[in-house]
Structure 1
Amino acid sequence: MTDLELDVRPLLRNGGEPFGAIMAAVGSLAPGQRLKLFATFRPEPLLAVMASKGFSHEATPLDGGEWQVIFTPEGEDITSPAVASDPEKWPDPSYYIDCTEMDPPEPMVRILAQLEAMAEGEVAFALLGREPVFLFPELQARGAGWVGDFDATGENYRLMVRAGRKP
């Protein structure tokens, strides 16, 4: 089986955020298929996110400070059970959090605090000034579902979080 190749270097050079494209590529992988990623830097935060999704990695420096990273699925299930498969069936959000004027890590702290106060199945909506890549592994660890994307302007990230079962 051939690797799925994704080159995010042009997007990064133009000031874009490649996380959405990377997660879309991960979602399109066939069982057992690897993702070969090309980036302008060693994507340290992504390595942790991918590890939480069941991937090991092999990072290789290229010329000019660029990197190739091969992500290999480990184990049977490479999909995150916390990522929502059908948010259309979720109830309307009970909580709204505007994080657009907050600096990291305050949005993550605020969203996680709200999640802890929510009952199973309740939904919160958050508006952020950037994609919260460090928040996703924390949501997964807490059994929460989530779905998010950038608004039409590309300036704000919209995130819905559904509380999972408390341990």
Structure 2
Amino acid sequence: MNQQITKIVELDVRPHLTKKIEPFQLIMDTVKELNVEDIFVLHATFKPTPLLGVLKMKGFVNKVERKEKDHWVVSFVNKKYKHLLDIEDELISSAKPSDGEVLVSEPKTISLDNRGLEPPQPMMRTLAALDRSHPGDQVNIHNDRVPVFLIEELNRLGCPFTVDEQSDGSVKVAIRKV
């Protein structure tokens, strides 16, 4: 039986927006790398209304949530998989712990394609994803080259990682949040 694996791909463009850096190309590059069944979660400082229309034209449906005054979270999924947005809501609402219970969630994996980005963007994206992660979660990145400075930071943070150099000269790094 061929089972589809849904992956959550997160991108936090709030640092870009606060520095007045336009993140549209970064967002579109991330969208281009999505598999059809992936959930794309975007963090922004405002409701990205124009982007909602652009991605709707590309076949995506979305769910928008305002976390704080300057923190909006938009989940996008291919319209063929729109049920995943409903399941996501059900999982969140059914996962509230009762008094005295501790909620333990399954580890999640965040995948980032950092190829084509100029330094320090790959490192910033990766550290932001690690920051949002919980212990046990994994962040997988695909970079143009070995991220030397990131590896130094991962060693400093005590996060275990593996480096897998690809035949095209790029590198994939799997990082476990501790």
TM-score computed with the length of structure 1 as normaliser: 0.44
TM-score computed with the length of structure 2 as normaliser: 0.41
